[in-house]
Amino acid sequence: MNICILMGSMRKNGNTKTLLDPFIEELMKEKATVQYIWIYDKYCAVISTCGYELDNGADLFEEAIKRLSIHSQLNYIGILAVRDINGVTDFQTNDVINSSKEFAIRILDTCK
């Protein structure tokens, strides 16, 4: 099992890390592969798909990421969200492919 932990505390070795240490230890004891990423002061962008209208699906996830970004001093860039109605074909249209490429360029430009 693979588990990714995003730690957003501004203090790399503070209370959150103290809480995470036994948590990670237990996961690893049970043979989980743990990827630990300290996200304080990094860039953040979200790519999301969902079967709901985007205002009723990706919006809550985006709001949570925005709040985390404020707390963790992440530089929130934005979201690329596509509604999944017909499966993979929804993601193979020229509009969606171009939006994905434009979002990648926006991220690269922001991170320079």
- DSSP secondary structure letter of residue 9: -
Which pLDDT tens digit goes with each residue over 96-110? Answer: 889 999 999 999 999
* pLDDT for residue 83: 82
Average pLDDT over residues 48-57: 79
Confidence of residue 20 (pLDDT cuts 50, 70, 90): very high
Confidence of residue 41 (pLDDT cuts 50, 70, 90): confident
CB 50 within 8 A of CB 90: no
Per-residue pLDDT at 6 exceeds 90: no
Q: What is the average pLDDT value for the chain, to the nearest integer?
A: 88
DSSP letter string, 10-78: SSTTSHHHHHHHHHHHHHHHTT-EEEEEE-TT-EEEEEEEESS-GGGTHHHHHHHHHHHHHHHT-EEEE
> CA 4 to CA 6: how far, in whole Å?
7
CB 7 within 8 A of CB 20: yes
* pLDDT for residue 89: 77
